[in-house]
Chains A and B, each alone.
Chain A
Amino acid sequence: MGAVRALNPMGYPPDVQQVQMAPRMGTLRGKTVYLVDARFDDSDIFMQQMEAWFRDNRPDINAVYVAKRGIYTQPDPELFARIRDEGAAAVVGVGH
């Protein structure tokens, strides 16, 4: 039986450029970690609970809760610059 052929209906994907991961700092002791509320469905409560977890369990880490500005799909350049300048790391959540 011979092969049957049709045309592929998928579009053309864009090129992907790799983004290198940031080097890790080994320890968070004495450093500031921003806990960023992504602004989606009660993520503020979740990230505030994470801040409480750090306070209860790792008081040696300066965990700072912050809500990004704008809706969850929008970047917040001011906040991202602040994290870059003043923070050691960030956790963004919660995607759901």
Chain B
Amino acid sequence: MQTDIFFDAVRQTAWAEGMPHQRFVYVPQPVMGKSPQELRAYLDGNDPITGRPVMEEVIEALTKPLTETERQAVRFDRSTPRDAVAESEAALHQLFMDSHWTDYMPIILPTEERVQEMLAGTSRRPDEIVGRLRPTSTREAWQFDVEKVAINAVMAGAKPAYLPVILALAASGVTARGSTTSSAASMAVVNGPIRRSIGMNWGTGALGPYNHANATIGRAYGLLSQNLQGGSVPGHTYLGSQGNNYAYNSLTFAENEERSPWAPFHVRHGYQRYDSTVSCFSGCRATSYLLGLRRDHWQEHVTNLLRGLNPHTPPTLILDPITANLFVERGGFDTPEKLEDWIWEHAKLPASVYWDDQLIQNYVYPRAENGEKPWADYLNAAPDELIPMYRREDVHVLVVGGETNGYWRIMGCNYGRTVLVDDWR
């Protein structure tokens, strides 16, 4: 059973799973929030796709003998041609747009010559396999090589010197074009010497459109994600109800290691200061912000920000160096781990409110039922008992900004992994 809005995605997914004739019955969207009586009316009514009675179709799907077509062997013939050809440059641009290969901003056409120039940015062979990407965990993963990543890097307007970072992003396995109905974007944070050698911005305006490397690496991350995973097409391979403007650049910036009071993010995750890395975060949707940390009530102000986030998506603090130093001064957080501890301890909700959240019902409650900790420990909490909104290991801190003021923000997001850029030079 499915709701009708997902007709195309359902057929496509069933085909890719080897079941092109799988029988489905559809009811109207939405199901969420409807009363039992309203949902019964769906079942007593007609399938919005076929116009036939829903339950008649259900019984028929289970009892009607397989047709000749359903019994036949199917040829799953698909491949990716190396070339894209059109009668003119304008027609080729149109072909890229019509094929859903762009982000609808102008691209650089990836001619053989331009791709060759891009490939000079790495010592890796063009046909070396880089990895696999998929729109979500339940969909098929597509594979790609170095040349395919370089093609997307050209389209984004990147320079060959950026290619190792872009290859590392592609190798992360973390897509920047998740298909989730929640309209999430990704975030990419670069650490180490390559930040400086390719001229990235970690100061004023680092998260904005003010730096060529930040802008085009982030755009390349998005383009390569949608194309190398097999698409990000609304209704088919993208289902985000509202979409997400962060997806244009995937929140790509370098950490301000020079002005941070703490060890850089990558060093806290097992790398050396001289290593160059990129760290991928997903699920970026919610952002809240604050100016500085007031002497008397900073704890309440920060706690209010945390309470404003959805309990399913943990907080990553994105701190201007001014505020990072204020956290050291006000709270005595001489390491970021101490600040993360404090955040985890203060991000709490009454158990009844926590468990009633729709996302917690969908994604956490079933895991708690299966005995997964720490959530299983909270199942018996009294309704008014305050329980942690997040797991401690999911809380993170980053430092970026040019110290024009002490504004800082909390990004609700999930840390995926850190990839060594040096492996892709």
Contacts and interface: CB of A to CB of B under 8 A. Distances in A.
B404 interface: no
A69 B155 contact: no
Given A13-B142, A49-B36, A53-B55, A8 B83 contact: yes
Contact of B86 (A3, A33, A50, A89): A3
Contact of B84 (A5, A13, A69): A5
Given A3-B86, A9-B101, A45-B39, A94 B16 contact: no
Nearest to B87: A1
A80 interface: no
B63 interface: yes
Nearest to B358: A41
Contacts of A1: 87-88
B43 A9 contact: no
A14 B142 contact: yes
Contacts of B382: none
A75 to B, nearest CB: 10
5 contacts: A11-B133, A11-B228, A23-B66, A53-B40, A70-B370
B31 A94 contact: yes
A12 B146 CA distance: 12
B43 A11 contact: no
A69 B5 CA distance: 26
A11 B86 CA distance: 20
A49 B89 CA distance: 57
B74 interface: yes
A45 B89 contact: no
Given A7-B82, A95-B1, A50 B6 contact: no
A50 to B, nearest CB: 6
Which 4 interchain pairs have the tightest Cβ spacing? Answer: A93-B1, A16-B76, A11-B228, A96-B3
A69 B88 contact: no
Interface string B70-81: 110110101111
B370 A69 contact: yes
A40 B133 CA distance: 24
Contacts of B81: 8
B34 A96 contact: no
Interface string A63-96: 0000001111110000000000000010111111
A10 B227 contact: yes
A72 B143 CA distance: 25
B312 to A, nearest CB: 11
B110 A6 contact: yes
A45 B42 CA distance: 12
B115 A96 contact: no
Nearest to A44: B361
B363 A71 contact: yes
A11 B142 contact: yes
A50 B59 CA distance: 12
A17 B31 contact: no
A50 B44 CA distance: 10
A21 B19 contact: yes
Contact of B73 (A18, A27, A93): A18
Contact of B82 (A8, A14, A74): A8
Contact of A39 (B29, B58, B148, B362): B362
B216 to A, nearest CB: 15
A96 B80 contact: no
Interface centre among B20, B84, B112, B367 (most CB of A within 10 A): B84
B297 interface: no
A96 B18 contact: no
A42 B92 CA distance: 46
Given A18-B20, A24-B63, 12 more contacts: A4-B91, A6-B84, A11-B133, A11-B143, A13-B78, A16-B76, A25-B63, A45-B36, A46-B1, A70-B366, A91-B58, A93-B1
Nearest to A43: B31
A82 B96 CA distance: 49
Given A5-B111, A42-B34, A71 B80 contact: no
Given A11-B228, A53-B44, A95 B3 contact: yes
A75 B20 CA distance: 21
Contacts of A25: 62-63
Interface in B195-232: 223-224, 227-231
B32 A96 contact: yes
**Residue among A28, A48, A49 facing the most chain B CB atoms (10 A cut-off):** A49
